[in-house]
Amino acid sequence: MNTLLLDSEDVDEYAALGDVIDAVEQAFAAFERGDTQMPAKSYIDLPRYNGDFRSMPAYLDTGDWDAAGLKWVNVHPDNPADHDLPTVLGTMIYSDPETAFPLAIMDGTTLTMKRTGAAAAVATDHLAVEDASSLGIVGAGVQSYTQLRAISEVRSIEEVVIADQDEDRVRRFVETFEDEFDVRAGSISEAGHCDILSTVTPVESPIVGLADVGEDTHINAIGADAAGKHELSDDLLLDATIVIDDHEQCTHSGEINVPYGEGTLTDDDIHAEIGEVVVGAKEGRTDGTGITVFDSTGLAIQDVAAAHVVYDRASDAGKGLSFDLVGAGDAAQ
């Protein structure tokens, strides 16, 4: 038995979004049923390098399959300017739960983008209006591309409005998708008045207010991933039906972390965790729901679920670099 080494191109090819969305939805359901183990994300702070490491381990059992893995990821803001490297570099170790054998080592950066888009798609499927056909995106970075790809798997998106202060980013986004969608640049309010809105910015002062969205808009709040980050105004959050991925993560580092810490939002303002909606324990959208917000911080079970898809599909295709990482061949002799 060998370990598969899968680079970013392999992950991009074999993380088929339809399958990843299904796997992430199953992971949310397993989380709600209590069929997962997911220790809190741990940090190693490296102030001398203006960076940190984060470890994200998880195990999940969907009933049809189980899987385990660890994502080792960093945030080093000086990397692009000082070292010509990305700010974030992720590595995923995907293991067989029965034997602990390392089935694969794969790029975790592309995997993160795929599973984040998939999580937004799961939430969109349960919380957006059924006939949603327009998508607004605030922030034209790399995650915006996966948001569009993933969400268009669950809704028939025709119109796309992209808002960003960086005109070059907007131009590249429009050029990428202009042959597939009616895509154009627009203001935050124009993006927010689409049927679905995804916000993917790192801001710490809200940039989307209640007046900037439609009365039935579903919002995927993706950008907040650390304490102090906050894309949506308090009045918007107070008016919306809020669904979160995990209470501990969202109240400490998700979209709701600032107003929750200040007492502006309380547990009474949180409608459900997404797993509760997936399994039917709490309602998704109903006729009178209005604005909905999905606070997505990103869970380790999502990474493991996405890695499960990548490994299975790459193995079936005979792709990836196969090598004897742990000397299993020698041990068997």
The catalytic residues are 71
Half-sphere exposure of 109 (CA within 13 A, CB side): 12
Q: What is the DSSP string of 31-95?
A: HHHT-EE-PPPEEEEEGGGTEEEEEEEEEEE-SS-EEEEEEEEEE-TTHHHHHS--S--EEEEEE
Residue 307 CB: number of other CB atoms within 10 A?
Answer: 32
Q: 36 forms bridges with which residues in the sheet?
A: 60
Q: What are 282's two structure tokens?
A: 């709490």
DSSP 8-state code for residue 321? E
Residue 298 region, left (φ>0) first, then alpha (ψ -120 to 50), else beta? left
Angle, vertex CA 157, rays to CA 179 and CA 11, nearest 5: 75
Q: What is the DSSP string of 225-256?
A: -STT---B-HHHHHHSEEEES-HHHHHHHSTT
Q: What is the DSSP string of 94-148?
A: EE-TTT--EEEEEEHHHHHHHHHHHHHHHHHHHHS-TT--EEEEE--SHHHHHHH
Q: How far apart are CA 332 and CA 326, in angstroms?
A: 11
3-state DSSP percent of the chain in helix, strand and coil, to 5: 40, 25, 35
Q: How far apart are CA 28 and CA 9, in angstroms?
A: 27
